Amino acid sequence: MLASEVNRENLSKMIRTFYAMILKDKTINPYFIMALGNDLESQAWQKHYQILEDFWLMLMTGEKVYTRDAYSPHEELPQMYQETFERWLELFNEAVHLYYTPKLAKKFYKRAEVLSKKFMQWLDIV
């Protein structure tokens, strides 16, 4: 059943699905493989899931569990393009619709879209 509330349990599932999709995608996977490797069960990936759970929990519920800087790791990555962000958003949209009601999935997507735009501006892509 699709969730109409965000909690750590459903976030954890959605995030793992999202990154499994990402690693199958030739446009996006080089960035992640370079930063975290291609073993989705590794320590590095487990840590990434945890960080992303905190991040989305904060964005979606307001719980102050994420205290890091979401932007700076992206500065270290190889050149990204508008298409890289578009593909990331497409996959994210697919992943949230697998776990959440359409209304909630849309809320996730809107937040990701706003942040994508900011990241692209900060990174001088648009």
105 touching ligand HEM, by CB under 6 A: no
Residue 88 to residue 110: CA distance in whole angstroms: 13
35 touching ligand HEM, by CB under 6 A: yes
28 touching ligand HEM, by CB under 6 A: yes
Residue 20 to residue 40: CA distance in whole angstroms: 7
Tell me, by CB under 6 A, how many residues bind ligand HEM: 22
With CB under 6 A as the contact rule, the residue among 18, 19, 88, 99 that binds ligand HEM is: 88
Sign of torsion over alpha carbons 38, 41, 42, 43 = positive
85 touching ligand HEM, by CB under 6 A: yes
19 touching ligand HEM, by CB under 6 A: no
Q: Which of 19, 6, 106, 100 is nearest to 57 (CA)?
A: 6
